[in-house]
DNA sequence: AAAATTTATGCAACCGATTGCAATTGTGTA
DNA sequence: TACACAATTGCAATCGGTTGCATAAATTTT
């Protein structure tokens, strides 16, 4: 059929006006007569005109695109965050480019370069687990392209950060276990150079301390939280010890679920022998037997906050305090895996 | 610092050659002298030159971008598919734009429009659960922009489809339950206008038939597979019936997990009273008690197939049979939720 | 009715890379 | 030395919108 793209020049010709007028009309420019605008819009619709973003971006030097780099998309949390971001961003007339680092610094670096070359107007990042060097963000900083970090943030980079109070969440989780009578609480967590893991760990230690339980380094395990890593840590180490822990606080729900499965296979009762608390309130935490006590925090809300802050900044309304930290609330959801007392 | 973008003109000026030569040099054009190329590349690297995609796309009328629209990203399956696609596509020098329809036709429509306006070179789609009208893809078809459907495909649209043999998978799952002694197998599934659900249902019926079990319409439930829907169907209906089913084949693992939880709460034993088979081999199927028998299929491989077919087509190498259907293999993974016999 | 505004529209340059065709330089051959 | 031919390089137009400035037309003010 009509395979030819319609341009503003085509519209201009048919309407006997200039391309300038068409361009302005389509943008609802105040100087253009209402009737002319209507004629333009009508014809545009009729002919199936679509603006050429490349021409427009080239001229305007702005892409109206926001990049997002996350470790993985396969959790309820991430997909909620994304959904929140997308909602706000679309309403504001921006587009999203999403990519996954798959928890690797190298992939994160190439993704960042791609985003840079795509000239995103802003970048939203949650760091890969093993990212140490942050120099790939330098190009953005040098060009003053705003970056917002969320959840796994880069503490040394000056920019807005949106996250939960991981210290407090870690404290709450641990304190809950203590209140259920646990004395030897195992903590399994990720790379401690990531704020989320470090802060939860600090909260864990503080809770122990406040309840006069001495921190035992043997009860602190840090690994990459894959199924394999959890298996190794528990089967080859923890379960072979003379004294077993009586509580477990692990920083994500799928790991908590794996641990629960392993413990049950080893003949331990949950929560009587070992009480378990996870993190994130992922779907998986609800279907295990018993269901897993966890920390809930609203991904959707977080996504919306992130997007609003970024858009306000880009539209030049609120760059007052762009380098601030936003802390969102969390709550402990108590389920069977930890509840020993009514 | 240097906030100014470097263009080929800047390079040309410093090297005392024309922009044409710089452009060709950067593309490794054979007519350009090797020494000249080296000088160009060296200076480009030194000054931090980056190509302006908008100018390039504008001129070339090609974006090197591929759009992906999926229902949701929060499953292991989807995130594997995406990862497979991304790998192939990046190697071929294309970029990805990913968006979620959140299972709604309306969102799918606006996403499609956005993709169209972003002038993607090709589109990869898995349909939302409630999509009936497919007219939003007409613009692509009219302009001859290739669309590949996967998993949830549009049967009425002529284009490549990549999926598993859902009929066979449904047959295998059902037959397995029959072999475990089930006679009254409940089938809970999604919208039957989606091929995946319809075909699995057909497989289910065929297996029943082949084993001389009459199909009972009361044992077929179709809903949107949310947690709420599963809960309603089981608690308010199935569990109130005089005769309970002795088997359940449900077309995704999280629903299987919810069902399993509900049945256990109702005091039923799994698999003795009701044997359960899910679908997808998602993480969740491994951590329930008992673990859930399920159908596994390789998302990564599927993603790679999809991307290869599309890229070959775009690069004009294999458009011979672009409107074909690719079927990938699946396997039944037997776990505790269904295994009654050794 | 002339002057001052306001309202609408157009001209032309520009954004940065690509490419058909022509031009220049260099090498080999008669 | 002259000519054919290959190897390099450049000119200039093009892709489709956007925008500062100028101009023309309509309306208001004096």
Tens of pLDDT, residues A168-205: 999 999 999 999 999 999 999 999 999 999 999 999 99
Which residue do the tokens 């429009």 mark?
B113
CA dihedral B247, B250, B255, B257 (to 10 degrees): 40
For residue A283 the two structure tokens come to 């779907």
A140 contacts on B by Cβ (under 8 Å):
none
Instruction: Average the pLDDT over A224-251 and give the result.
Output: 95
Q: Residue A283: is its pLDDT beyond 50? A: yes
Q: Residue B145: is its pLDDT beyond 90? A: no
CA of B206 vs chain A CAs: smallest distance (Å)? 31
pLDDT in tens, B230-258: 999 999 999 999 999 999 999 999 999 99
Which residue do the tokens 């809770």 mark?
A207
- Does the nearest atom of strand C lie within 7 Å of B35's Cβ? no
Whole-number distance in Å between A36 CA and C7 C1':
13
Helices B34-47 & B19-26, crossing angle to 10 degrees?
90
Contact call for A100 and B82, based on CB within 8 A: yes
Where helices occur in chain B by DSSP H, the ranges are 8-15, 19-26, 34-47, 53-60, 76-91, 105-117, 138-142, 166-179, 195-210, 227-236, 253-265, 284-287, 299-314
CATH homologous superfamily of B63-164+299-327 equals Response regulator (3.40.50.2300)
- Does the nearest atom of strand D lie within 7 Å of A13's Cβ? no
Whole-number distance in Å between A61 CA and D21 C1':
21
Q: Which of B53, B116, B254 sits opposite A283 (nearest CB)?
A: B254
pLDDT in tens, B276-302: 999 999 989 999 989 999 999 889 999
Architecture of the B166-297 domain: 3-Layer(aba) Sandwich (3.40)
* Options 3.40.50.800, 3.40.30.10, 3.50.50.60, 3.40.50.2300; CATH of A63-164+299-328: 3.40.50.2300
Query: pLDDT-derived band of residue B181, with 50, 70 and 90 as boundaries?
Result: very high
What pLDDT sits at residue A317? 58
pLDDT in tens, B9-37: 999 999 999 999 999 999 888 888 889 99
Q: Do A8-51 and A63-164+299-328 share a fold?
A: no
**Which residues in 46-85 of chain B line strand D, with CB less than 7 A from it?**
55, 58-59, 61
Instruction: Kindly list the domain boundaries of chain B, sorted by start residue.
Output: 8-51, 63-164+299-327, 166-297
Q: Residue A319: is its pLDDT beyond 60? A: no
In the sheet where A122-125 sits, what is the strand order?
A: A95-100, A65-70, A122-125, A147-150, A160-164, A325-328
Contact call for B289 and A284, based on CB within 8 A: no
CA angle B74, B78, B83 (to 5 degrees): 115
In strand C, the nucleotides that come within 7 Å of a protein beta carbon are 7-12, 14-20
- What does DSSP say about strands A122-125 and A147-150: parallel, antiparallel, or unpaired? parallel
pLDDT in tens, B70-127: 998 878 888 889 989 988 988 887 888 888 898 999 999 989 988 888 889 899 999 9
B63 near A CB under 8 A: yes
Contact call for A284 and B284, based on CB within 8 A: yes
What pLDDT sits at residue A2? 45
- Does the nearest atom of strand C lie within 7 Å of B24's Cβ? yes
Least Cα distance to A78 among B134, B263, B166, B79 occurs for: B79
In strand D, the nucleotides that come within 7 Å of a protein beta carbon are 7-12, 14-20
Q: Residue B4: is its pLDDT beyond 80? A: no
Least Cα distance to B180 among B250, B247, B243, B278 occurs for: B247
What pLDDT sits at residue B323? 65
Residue of A nearest to B54 (CA): A54
Contact call for A95 and B114, based on CB within 8 A: yes
What pLDDT sits at residue B143? 82
What pLDDT sits at residue A320? 46
Instruction: Average the pLDDT over B303-309 and give the result.
Output: 93
Query: pLDDT-derived band of residue B342, with 50, 70 and 90 as boundaries?
Result: low
Residue of B nearest to A72 (CA): B79
Contact call for A102 and B83, based on CB within 8 A: yes
The CATH number assigned to the domain with range A8-51 reads: 1.10.260.40
Higher-confidence position of B176 and A92: B176
Write out residues 242-261 of A within 8 Å (CB-CB) of B. Answer: 254, 257-258, 260-261
- Contact between residue A309 and residue A326 where contact means Cβ atoms under 8 Å apart: yes
Q: What is the helix (H) or strand (E) element at residue B277, kind and residue range? A: strand B275-277
Higher-confidence position of B60 and A182: A182
Where helices occur in A154-226 by DSSP H, the ranges are 166-179, 195-210
Contact call for A287 and B260, based on CB within 8 A: yes
Average model confidence (pLDDT) across chain B:
91
What pLDDT sits at residue B317? 58
Residue of B nearest to A58 (CA): B54
Q: Residue A248: is its pLDDT beyond 50? A: yes
What pLDDT sits at residue B87? 86
């Amino acid at each position: 059929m009509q395979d030819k793209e319609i341009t503003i020049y085509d519209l201009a010709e048919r309407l006997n006006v200039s391309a300038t007028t068409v361009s302005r009309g389509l943008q609802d420019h105040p100087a253009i007569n209402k009737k002319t605008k209507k004629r333009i819009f009508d014809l545009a619709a009729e002919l199936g005109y679509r603006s050429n973003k490349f021409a427009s971006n080239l001229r305007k030097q702005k892409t109206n695109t926001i990049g997002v780099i996350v470790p993985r998309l396969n959790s309820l949390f991430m997909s909620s965050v994304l959904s929140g971001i997308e909602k706000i961003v679309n309403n504001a007339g921006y587009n999203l480019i999403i990519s996954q680092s798959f928890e690797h610094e190298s992939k994160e670096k190439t993704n960042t370069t791609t985003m840079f070359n795509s000239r995103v107007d802003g970048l939203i990042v949650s760091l890969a687990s093993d990212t140490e060097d942050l120099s790939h963000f330098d190009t953005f900083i040098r060009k003053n392209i705003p970056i917002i970090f969320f959840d796994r943030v880069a503490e040394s980079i000056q920019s807005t950060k949106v996250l939960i109070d991981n210290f407090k969440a870690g404290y709450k989780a641990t304190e809950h276990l203590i209140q259920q009578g646990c004395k030897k609480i195992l903590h399994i967590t990720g790379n401690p150079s990531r704020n989320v893991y470090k802060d939860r760990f600090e909260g864990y230690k503080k809770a122990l301390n406040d309840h006069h339980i001495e921190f035992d380094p043997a009860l602190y395990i840090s690994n990459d939280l894959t199924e394999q890593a959890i298996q190794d840590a528990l089967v080859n180490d923890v379960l072979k010890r003379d004294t077993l822990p009586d509580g477990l606080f692990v920083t994500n729900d799928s790991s908590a679920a794996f641990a629960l499965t392993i413990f049950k296979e080893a003949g331990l009762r949950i929560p009587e022998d070992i009480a378990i608390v996870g993190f994130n309130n992922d779907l998986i935490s609800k279907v295990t037997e018993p269901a897993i006590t966890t920390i809930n925090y609203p991904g959707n809300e977080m996504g919306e906050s992130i997007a609003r802050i970024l858009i306000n900044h880009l539209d030049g309304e609120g760059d007052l305090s762009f380098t601030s930290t936003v802390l969102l609330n969390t709550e402990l959801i108590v389920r069977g895996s930890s509840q020993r007392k009514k």
